[in-house]
Structure 1
Amino acid sequence: MREWLTSWRFLVSRRWFGFFLVVLLLGVGTWWLGEWQFGRLDDKQERNAVIEANAHEDPVPVGEVLAVGEPVAPQEEYTVVEATGTYDVAETLIVRYRTRDSAPGVDVVVPLVLEDGSTLVVDRGWLAYDGRMADAADAAPPPPAGEVTVTGWVRVDGEGDSTRVSDGGMRAISSVEVGEALDKEVLGGFVELLTEDPESATALEPFEEPDTGEGPHFFYGLQWWFFGILAFGGFGYLAWDERKNGPRGERRRRGTTED
């Protein structure tokens, strides 16, 4: 037993202790990255469950889901709502740099003023466009005039600098930023248009079905954990090799002397 322990004594050397710390840090890092990927998978599955529960149900009145100044509850996203009002075409905004199948374009956002005076932010759809962004709103086909009833998917507000409204547009939609820019009382969240009654003379490209795929997170998580196992396995192999054959540097020197 004593001889066996002595044969592994090199593991407490500075070189091997430092090597072990590097492998340990690598293992902790790969474990954390794997957990992060599995956490993203859980988030995706929760979101998919919300979409599947809400996206294809009959529409409900918008007031049952959205309220002025109130954020959208996560479990309410993709609920189909119905609202009646009048489009404020003069306040049309665009969401810049929205591509489809590599084609440049924009989303067209028009506030819908409801009967109670509040405003619903409606993303009416996609417009193929590669001109000056300042002219995009003018290039969009107009929505129906007069009173119109719309249905659409409820979406959560975007966050960050991309939601800031400037020069008639933004990179992502936030009802808060739109309300401040237009000086209107807006309902929290926004709606991606599904139907209009009456219909517009020229329709924008409708929204695609929400993506309910789970992505590669499961396999990425396994991949990170495999890298961690590989690191510890490599450490064990190198330790076993040195115990059996001695330090590699000494082996090279012995080989040179023998030559």
Structure 2
Amino acid sequence: MREWLASWRFLISRRWLSFFLAVIVLGIGTWWLGEWQFGRLDDKRERNAVIEANAHEDPVPVTDVLAPGTPVADGEEYTVVEATGTYAVDDTLIVRYRTRDSAPGVQVVVPLVLADGTALVVDRGWLAFDGPTDEARDAAPEPPAGEVTITGWVRVDGEGDSTEVSDGGMRAISSTAVGEALDLEVYGGFVELLSEDPAPAESLDPPEEPDTGEGPHFFYGLQWWFFGVLALGGFGYLAWDERKHGPRGSRVRSPRAGH
């Protein structure tokens, strides 16, 4: 037994202890990354459950779901809402850099002013366009004039610098940023348009169906855990190899045949 223990004494050398600590750090890192990927998978599944529960139900009044200055509640995204008002065409905004099938384009956003003077931020749809923001505004088809009833999906506001409104455009939609830029009292969140009554003379491309795929997170999580197991297995193999054959740098190489 003593001889067997003595054969492993090299593991308490500085070189092997440092190697072991590096493997432990690597193992913890790969475990955490795997957990992160599985966490993203859980988030995706929760979002998919919300979409499947809401996206194809009958419309409900917008006031049942949204309120001025209030963020979209958990579980309400992709609820189909209905609202009646008048489009503030002069306040049209452009969401830049929105491609579809590799084609350049923009989203056209127009506030819908309701009877009480509050406004609902409406993404009316996608326009194939490659040019300056002011030209995109001019190229966008006009919405119906006068009172119009819309239905659409509730969407959560974007965040960060991309929501800043400048020169009539932005890169992501935030009702807060739109309200501040246009000096309007707006409902929290925004609506992706599904229908308008009366219908416009020319329509924009409607929103794409929400993605309910789970993505590659499950396999990415397994891969990270596999890397951690591989690192531990590699440490064990190298330790066994050195115990059996001695340090690699001090091994005597066999002479080549014929020399």
CA distance in 1, matches of 2:199, 2:2: 88
- SS of residue paired to 1:255: coil
Query: Which position in structure 2 is the counterpart of 1:231?
Result: 231
State how many pairs are aligned. 257
Query: Which position in structure 1 is the counterpart of 2:253?
Result: 255
Query: Which position in structure 1 is the counterpart of 2:216?
Result: 216
TM-score by length of 1: 0.98
Query: Which position in structure 1 is the counterpart of 2:98?
Result: 98
- SS of residue paired to 1:109: strand
Matched, 1:7 2:7: yes
Query: Which position in structure 2 is the counterpart of 1:62?
Result: 62
- Which digits, 9 at most, give the CA deviation of each residue in 1:135-159, with x for residues without a partner? 2111100000000000000000000
- Which digits, 9 at most, give the CA deviation of each residue in 1:36-69, with x for residues without a partner? 0000000000000000000000000000000000
Deviating above 3 A after TM superposition, structure 1's stretches of 4 or more consecutive aligned residues are: 256-259
5+ unaligned residues in a row in structure 1: which ranges? none
- SS of residue paired to 2:199: coil
Q: Which amino acid aligns with 1:19?
A: F
* 1:133 CA drift (Å): 2.2
- Which digits, 9 at most, give the CA deviation of each residue in 1:195-217, with x for residues without a partner? 00000111001111100000000
CA distance in 2, matches of 1:100, 1:188: 27
- Which digits, 9 at most, give the CA deviation of each residue in 1:76-108, with x for residues without a partner? 000000000000000000100000000000000
Structure 1 segment 121-132 matched on structure 2, within 5 A: 121-132=121-132
* 1:132 CA drift (Å): 1.6
- The percent identity for this pair of structures is 80
* 1:256 CA drift (Å): 7.5
TM-score by length of 2: 0.98
- SS of residue paired to 2:75: helix
CA distance in 1, matches of 2:138, 2:181: 18
Is this contact kept in 2: 1:163–1:172, CA < 8 A?
A: yes
CA distance in 2, matches of 1:159, 1:40: 19
Q: Which amino acid aligns with 1:136?
A: A
Q: Which amino acid aligns with 1:37?
A: Q
Query: Which position in structure 2 is the counterpart of 1:113?
Result: 113
* 1:257 CA drift (Å): 8.5
Structure 1 segment 147-186 matched on structure 2, within 5 A: 147-186=147-186
Query: Which position in structure 2 is the counterpart of 1:193?
Result: 193
5+ unaligned residues in a row in structure 2: which ranges? none
Q: Which amino acid aligns with 1:106?
A: V
CA distance in 2, matches of 1:116, 1:76: 23
Q: Which amino acid aligns with 1:232?
A: L
Is this contact kept in 2: 1:154–1:192, CA < 8 A?
A: yes
CA distance in 2, matches of 1:7, 1:256: 23
